A and B are shown apart, each in its own frame.
Chain A
Amino acid sequence: MLYEIAQWLTPDVRAFNVLTYITLRGVLAALTALAISFIVGPAMIRKLTAYKIGQAVRDDGPATHLVKSGTPTMGGALILVSVAVTTLLWADLRNRYVWLCLLTTLGFGAVGWVDDWRKVVHRNPKGLPARAKFGWQSLIALVAVYLLAYTAKLPQQTEVIVPFFKTIAIPLGTVGFVVLGYFVVVGTSNAVNLTDGLDGLAIMPTVMIASALAIFAYVSGNAVFSKYLGFPLISGSGELAVFCGAIAGAGLAFLWFNAYPAEVFMGDVGALALGAALGMVALVVRQEIVLLIMGGVFVVETLSVIIQVASYKLTGKRVFRMAPLHHHYELKGWKENQVVVRFWIITMMLVLFGLSTLKLR
């Protein structure tokens, strides 16, 4: 919105031209999302508490988590409101990538909302049935990815870029791109949801990865930088830097309330939505493999659950003391804070390694 207003005013007042630059709008989006979340956050937490929308803690988890029972959940709605308002304010609303990513994020958020609402308000421990939850996620992801593939104008918009290799790009075609995109979006969404088990564990890696994807988006959408670094130009993808800035800002502000000891949890509404957002942005800028690298913590957490379930079903034995992986380290004696901060450090290292692929080609 402000972008269109700035473009309209620039011929008369040159100072407004500065608001048409993606870099500045990305930073301002982050600060705006921060401000919105800080202003709305306390009131939202009070409302969630008043409506007794509190988290029910599983009794088969670590005993130290029982004290978290009653902490308000569904705080991810705060993040989504902040991201949506900020994106509509600062992004170029004529850009299809912005709408695709934003609507997919909100769609996954709606699925998470229904699941959380049933669990917490209706006291239905099953929430949304697994098939329905997965079905809706799949439908939204397939529609979004198909639209992305269908509106692609150039072959490089559906090719897989291999990190570290400038000349290797795997063409997928429309069908292959849709299949890959489906797994990226749904997989990332559920991986973030599995990781969201300790105070602040999921949100900080999300902020870091969103910030890195903002850089990739800017590079992919800039003719000069993309040519210099050997990336295919994906015209219009630079605007996603604003969307990623909004996620980073909203996430940081949410962390203010979510850091140990948390006053609010994000719930499925936040986790599913943020994972889908990261997956969609990575798909647009063609950095799925780099997302796999930077999101290593999410990947390992998901693998720990798969390995634990598979091992127990096949052999009757557990590989980890508890899954997901963060519980395993808690039961090994690590304090919750230690697990969280150490996973943040690992994510920071992986994000830096992912960013190095910009130049190491």
Chain B
Amino acid sequence: MKAHDHRQVRARLTCASPKLSALARGRDQNLPVRFWIITMMLVLFGLSTLKLR
């Protein structure tokens, strides 16, 4: 069974819970986006040092 077939099977079995559904669809896929969000937060914090002096 191919890797994406396993994910499809897990998706059908775990649709009851959004977290499990998200896991079935590959939770690791939102890691890059979450790292981007963290970077944007740090950039905002860095920009605040323009004024907080």
Interface residues of A (CB under 8 A from B): 18, 21, 23-24, 27-28, 30-31, 34, 45, 49, 54, 67-72, 200, 249, 252-253, 255-256, 259-264, 337
Report B7-18 CB contacts with A as 1/0, cut-off 8 Å.
Answer: 010011001111
Q: How many angstroms between the C-alpha atoms of A261 and B17 in the bound complex?
A: 13
Cα of A86 to Cα of B47 in the assembled complex, Å = 19
A27 — which chain B residues lie within 8 A by C-beta?
44, 47-48, 51
Q: Which single residue of chain B is at the shortest CB-CB distance from A27?
A: B48
Whether the Cβ atoms of B11 and A67 lie closer than 8 Å is yes
In-complex Cβ contact of A252 among B15, B27, B37, B52 (8 A): B37
Residues of A within 8 A of B50 (CB): 23
A67 touches B29 (CB 8 A): no
B34 part of interface (Cβ distance < 8 Å):
yes
B36 to chain A, nearest CB (A): 9
The answer on a CB contact under 8 Å between A252 and B41 is: yes
* Contact between chains at A71 and B48 (CB < 8 Å): no
9 contacts between A and B (CB under 8 A): A31-B44, A45-B18, A49-B17, A67-B24, A69-B15, A249-B44, A260-B30, A261-B25, A261-B29
Residues of B within 8 A of A34 (CB): 41
Q: Are B51 and A23 in contact (CB under 8 A)?
A: yes
Across-interface contacts of A255 in B (CB, < 8 A): 33, 37
Please classify the interface of chain A as helix (H, G, I), strand (E, B), loop, or mixed, using the class held by over half of its residues: helix
Query: Which of the residues A24, A256, A262 comes within 8 Å of B51, measured between beta carbons?
Result: A24
Q: Contact check, A72 vs B30: say whether CB atoms are below 8 A apart.
A: no
Residue of B nearest to A24 (CB): B51
Query: Shortest beta-carbon distance, A86 to chain B, in Å?
Result: 13
Task: Give complex CA distance A23, B18 in Å.
Answer: 38
B residues touching A (Cβ–Cβ < 8 Å)? 8, 11-12, 15-19, 21-22, 24-27, 29-30, 33-34, 37, 40-41, 44-45, 47-48, 50-52
Contacts A252-B40, A252-B41 given: A263-B19 contact, CB under 8 Å? yes
Residues of A within 8 A of B27 (CB): 261
Closest to B12 in A: A67
Asked if B41 and A31 sit within 8 Å, CB to CB, the answer is yes
Task: Say yes or no: B21 contacts A24, CB within 8 Å.
Answer: no
Judging by beta carbons under 8 Å apart, are B41 and A256 in contact? no
Given contacts A18-B52, A256-B37, contact A71 B44 (CB under 8 A): no
* A67 CA to B17 CA, complexed, in Å: 11
Q: Which of B24, B48, B50 has the most CB of A within 10 A?
A: B48
| A263 touching B40, Cβ below 8 Å | no
Nearest CB to that of B11 among chain A residues? A67
The answer for the CA separation of A253 and B40 in the assembled complex, in Å, is 11
Partner of A259, one of B34, B41, B44: B34
Asked whether, in the complex, the Cβ of B48 is within 8 Å of the Cβ of A28, the reply is yes
- Of B18, B24, B26, which one neighbours A72 at CB under 8 angstroms? B18
Min CB–CB distance B39 → chain A (angstroms): 11
**Chain A residues near B52 (CB-CB < 8 A):** 18, 24
Q: Which residue of B lies closest to A71 (CB)?
A: B18
Q: Given A24-B52, A31-B45, A261-B29, decide whether A256 and B21 contact each other with a Cβ distance below 8 A.
A: no
Q: A31-B44, A70-B15, A256-B33 are in contact. List 19 more A-B contacts (CB 8 A).
A: A18-B51, A27-B47, A27-B48, A30-B44, A34-B41, A49-B18, A54-B18, A67-B24, A67-B25, A71-B18, A71-B21, A71-B22, A200-B33, A252-B41, A259-B30, A259-B33, A260-B30, A260-B33, A337-B29
Alpha-carbon distance between A264 and B52 when the two chains are bound, in angstroms: 35
In the complex, how many angstroms separate the beta carbon of A333 from the nearest chain B beta carbon? Answer: 15
Selected contact of B22 from candidates A249, A253, A256, A261, CB within 8 Å: A261
